[in-house]
Amino acid sequence: MRKIILFLLISFGLQAQLSPQAQVSLITIAPGKDLYSVFGHSSIWIQDPANGVDRVYSYGTFDFDTEYFYWKFLKGTLPYSISVNSMPTILDYYGQVEHRTVNMQVLHLSQAEKNSMFNALETNLLPENREYSYKFFYDNCATRIRDKVEAITGKAYAWDSYKHIQGKSYRDWMNVYLNANSWEALGMNLALGVPANVIATSSQSCYLPDNFFAATKLAVRAGKPIADEPLALYQSTEKVEVGFDWFGPFTWLSLLSFITLFVSLKSSRGTYVFDVILFSTYGLLSLFLFFLAVGTDHIVMGWNPASLVLFPLQFPLVFWFAKNPAWKRYNQVMAILACIGFIWCMTESWTLVFPLMPILIRTLALALRSKPVING
């Protein structure tokens, strides 16, 4: 009955009161094996035995049954929301099903702060408030929890002193969690633009749950830690072994690079079909990246220099420039753009170097082979 009264109060915009025995805890769930879970997860757990409250709040929830799910996901307009579950449900799913470690840090909050956190989360859970626009780097499950905890604890987080979670770009932090020789890492790095290369502050790097977990261990208020030492509610015994994937992109793209080099060194005769396939593939891929940069709400995909190498106009212009010497100037410009983009990719992420190598080789070869047309 007490639990029902609490939630009725919140529904009518009134402040519910937890008992003095209530606890507020930061829950950090270790990275999983699938791409959607590889970066880990953050939640807030509020438990109050006296009022029968056991609620774990999670941001970043989405519904696969959403109408036009894949199109909205691609466009960056898929609605995300806050959800709530009991701790037994959380432990059953993340522990027994996915075998991911679940850590708890009990936060040292005053009674007023506990009530403030509880009411804020419950208000956010109301149907008219629960949905929001998800941003991977800027507004996700960890950043929303970070903002709420920091707002309540004041200046407990001395962000400038947390050197171990500084100095990397958003992209670099992301790549820590990805197998470098994986198609997932290749696809994500190709899609990200200049915003991903911004060096993240220690606070911004807490878009990753592990970083916020580490920052909370160090946070101090009035000379005392704001949280208890972490306690593992579930400790996974599984070890993720990352070995070299012989079927990963490095293998296939290296093979393609060697084939492209061989084709480029031999006579240009008989290479027209090869060029059409190669440049059409890269051109269509570049058109897709261009769409992600300008046609979606994904801010981090804007200003993507990888398109300098891929160059959208390669398709359909390949049907002309691959065999017509009159296209010399076009081939030279394309080669310059490829070199600029390739150098940028080397400075930002080695993951981007491998897919761009074949197009760089072939572009330079065409530029060198193109001869001016002599009339008369």
What string of DSSP letters covers 152-200? HHTT---GGG-GGG-S-BHHHHHHHTS-TTSHHHHHHHHH--GGGGSBP
pLDDT band at 371 (very low <50, low <70, confident <90, very high): low
In the prediction, which pLDDT does 353 show? 86
Mean pLDDT on 102-110: 97
Q: What percent of the chain has pLDDT over 90?
A: 61
Task: Name every residue whose Cβ is closer than 8 Å to that of residue 245 and which is 6 or more positions away in sequence.
Answer: 179, 181, 182, 251
pLDDT at residue 8 in the model: 53
pLDDT at site 39: 96
CB 227 within 8 A of CB 238: no
pLDDT digits (tens, 9 = 90+) for 184-198: 999 999 999 999 999
Average pLDDT over residues 47-70: 91
C-alpha torsion 339→341→342→347, nearest 10: 130
* DSSP-derived pairing of the beta strands 23-29 and 102-106: antiparallel
If pLDDT is split at 50, 70 and 90, which confidence band does 366 have?
confident
Contact 47, 54 (CB under 8 A): yes
Q: In what order do the strands lie in the sheet with 23-29?
A: 131-133, 79-85, 53-61, 41-48, 23-29, 102-106, 231-234
Q: What is the pLDDT of residue 352?
A: 84
Question: Can you give the pLDDT at residue 257?
Answer: 94
Residues 318, 323, 329, 332: is their CA dihedral positive or negative? positive
pTM equals: 0.89
Give the tens place of pLDDT for each residue, 123-158.
999 999 999 999 999 999 999 999 999 999 988 999
pLDDT band at 83 (very low <50, low <70, confident <90, very high): very high
Residue 375 has what pLDDT? 42
Distance CA 145, CA 133 (A): 15
- Torsion, Cα of 79, 82, 85, 87 (10° steps): 130
Residue ranges per domain, the chain?
2-166+201-234, 249-369
Q: Minimum mean pLDDT among 25-29, 123-127, 204-208, 264-268: which range?
A: 264-268
Q: Which amino acid is at 89?
A: T
Q: What is the pLDDT, as a whole number, of residue 9?
A: 52
Mean pLDDT over all residues of the chain?
Answer: 89
Q: What angle do CA 12, 14, 16 make, to 5 degrees?
A: 120
Name the residue with higher pLDDT: 185 or 15: 185
Give the bridge partners for 102, in sequence order.
29, 234
Q: What's the mean pLDDT in 51-55?
A: 95
Q: Is 88 exposed, middle or buried (0-12, 13-18, 19+ CB in 10 A)?
A: exposed
Question: What's the first-to-final CA gap in the chain, in angstroms?
Answer: 98
Contact yes or no for 346/314 (Cβ under 8 A): no
Which band of pLDDT confidence, cut at 50, 70 and 90, is reported for residue 204? very high
- Over residues 291-337, the pLDDT tens digits come to 998 889 899 998 888 887 888 888 999 998 888 877 888 888 889 98
